[in-house]
Amino acid sequence: MSDLAVADQGGAIPPAFDLSLVLGQNLRRLRTRQGYSLERLAKLSGVSRAMLSQIETGKSAPTISLLWKISTALDVPFATLLSGQNTHGTVVLKRVDAKILASRDGKFTTRALFPFDGERKVEFYELRLAGRHVEHADAHAPGTVENVVIAQGALEVRAGRDAPRQLFEGDAILFEADVPHSYRNLTDEESVAYLVMTYVETVG
């Protein structure tokens, strides 16, 4: 999977939100809170000690797949690594201010449609896949369920050893996401889907 990149819809990153710094601070906090050394976390996650150190110091932008491996090893939701300041009450998430996680080639992007902070059992994402692109995802925490609805285009969804399912605009699928899974765009144009991820236990 390509390197992680972040940008708002206007093409500029607001100075109050530096993803690399926030990610590094969160990783260091979560690692030390659990009493893990860099060596221990490297062994648990399969991510090298050098890469973990670079992430913690804000010197490296990891791939999305690496972030999934780290969050799984720490037993925290993916979004916890990206959490900024606490939010309370009503929260408006303006499209123009959206933080987009994207592959380096831009063929896959994901946008969180919820505040990263606060306790929750459910997370909501927008997914965009370029024509014919295949996106692979690692297994999530045990019991995690994904519910995906196709808003534009068509996708083939494969979960674990189950047969792949073809979904078209307006179709939805619910599946256990604690196994490796993938999404494949069946069209030559961009496909858009919305993903609801539900955890067994409250997170955040």
Confidence category of residue 90, pLDDT binned at 50, 70, 90: confident
Confidence category of residue 204, pLDDT binned at 50, 70, 90: low
In whole angstroms, how far apart are CA 191 and each of 7, 73, 122?
20, 31, 23
Q: Can you give the pLDDT at residue 92?
A: 81
Q: Can you give the pLDDT at residue 158?
A: 98
Q: What's the angle, vertex CA 177, arms to CA 107 and CA 82, rounded to 5?
A: 60
Residue type, 96: V
In whole angstroms, how far apart are CA 178 and each of 16, 87, 145, 197?
34, 29, 7, 11
Contact 72, 45 (CB under 8 A): yes
Cα separation, 155 vs 66, in Å, equals 24
* Of residues 116 and 147, more confidently modeled: 147
192, pLDDT greater than 80: yes
Structure tokens of 200?
């067994």
The number of beta carbons lying within 10 Å of the beta carbon of residue 95 is: 11
Q: Which stretch of 13-22, 24-33, 135-144 has the lowest confidence by average pLDDT?
A: 13-22
6, pLDDT greater than 50: no
Per-residue burial over 161-186, b if 16 or more Cβ lie within 10 Å, else e, is eeeeeebeeeeebebbbbbebebbbe
pLDDT in tens, 140-182: 888 999 999 999 999 999 999 999 999 999 999 999 999 999 9
Q: Can you give the pLDDT at residue 7?
A: 44
Q: Can you give the pLDDT at residue 119?
A: 67
Structure tokens of 137?
């995802």
Average pLDDT over residues 105-118: 84
Structure tokens of 175?
């599946």
Residue type, 23: L
For the chain, what percentages of helix, strand and coil (3-state, to nearest 5) are there? 25, 35, 40
Average pLDDT over residues 120-147: 93
Average pLDDT over residues 5-34: 65
Cα separation, 144 vs 51, in Å, equals 27
Residue type, 79: A
Question: To the nearest whole number, what is the mean pLDDT of the chain?
Answer: 84
Confidence category of residue 105, pLDDT binned at 50, 70, 90: confident
3, pLDDT greater than 50: no
Q: Can you give the pLDDT at residue 86?
A: 53
The beta strand positions in the chain, using DSSP E, are 5-7, 100-102, 108-112, 120-129, 134-137, 145-152, 154-159, 165-168, 172-176, 181-185, 191-203
Q: What is the pTM of this model?
A: 0.64
Q: Which stretch of 81-85, 154-158, 190-194 has the lowest confidence by average pLDDT?
A: 81-85
Q: Can you give the pLDDT at residue 157?
A: 98
